Amino acid sequence: MRIILIGPPGAGKGTQAESIKAKYPIAHISTGDMLRENVRSGTELGKKARAFMDAGKLVSDDLIIDMMRARLRADDARAGFLLDGFPRTIAQAEALDGLLKEMSIELDAVILLEVSDDTVVQRLASRRVCSSCGAIYNAIAHPPKIEGVCDICCSKVIQRDDDKESVIRNRLAVYHEQTSPLIEYYDKKGMLHRIDANVAKDFVLKYLETLNAAGNV
């Protein structure tokens, strides 16, 4: 199964990816998580990416494509993968097509999580994440059992710097400008599946199971 999840920040890509990977043995590849890990460990890539991430802007296509070229060839991606946060520009989508061709593999489906800007702002402003394992919480709807402490690994639960309201607005503008053209790109290839991301959390998994049962992924 090789799938792309597309949607604005806060559409629930990370949350959906967590439940999908619990069910299917495929690699969850999140470029945002990979970049944050590089920032944390102070790599050259992390140093270059940080200012863009803090401002809610996209990191340059070249850096992202180099990072993904290596990641897609890792052993755990052989059984399939779920791309979360990549591609984010047409240039990245074209580069991905090239990489997949080199590897003689094909994508099965692109799932678009559709959600309104207002919902995004509301959701992200209350999103909290574990600073260590990346588990996702919501300060209102799904807080950790002990305030500020991750249920899974007991590390600190924080608000991401780019989940502050001013940065959220930037990230949304970037999504509409640079990422939403991908909708037409994949629709033309007949690969796009639209899902209303305002609905229940396990809906994407159920939808995927239907596609799987029908032999479509």
**Which two three-digit tokens encode residue 205?**
């998994």
Q: Do the Cβ atoms of 123 and 9 come closer than 8 Å?
A: no
In the complex, the smallest distance separating the C-beta of residue 40 from ligand AMP, rounded to whole angstroms, is: 13
Do residues 55 and 110 make contact, with C-beta atoms less than 8 angstroms apart? no
Contacting positions for ligand AMP (CB under 6 A): 9, 31-32, 35, 52-53, 56-59, 64, 85-86, 88, 92, 162, 171
Catalytic residue, from 160, 164, 169, 201: name it.
160
Cβ proximity to ligand AMP, 43 vs 216, nearer residue: 43
CB atoms within 10 A of CB 157: 22
Catalytic residue among 13, 36, 71, 123: 13
48 carries an active-site annotation: no
Q: How far is the CB of 102 from ligand AMP (least distance, A)?
A: 19
Clarify whether 13 is annotated catalytic: yes
**Is 160 noted as a catalytic residue in this protein?**
yes
Nearer to ligand AMP, 89 or 109 (CB): 89
Considering the candidates 2, 71, 127, 128, report the single residue annotated as catalytic: 127
Q: What is the DSSP string of 114-172?
A: E--HHHHHHHHHHEEEETTT--EEETTTB--SBTTB-TTT--BEE--GGGSHHHHHHHH
User: Which is it for the CA torsion 83, 89, 90, 92, positive or negative?
Assistant: negative
Active site residue 71: no
Q: Give yes or no: 127 in active site.
A: yes
Active site residues: 13, 88, 127, 160, 171
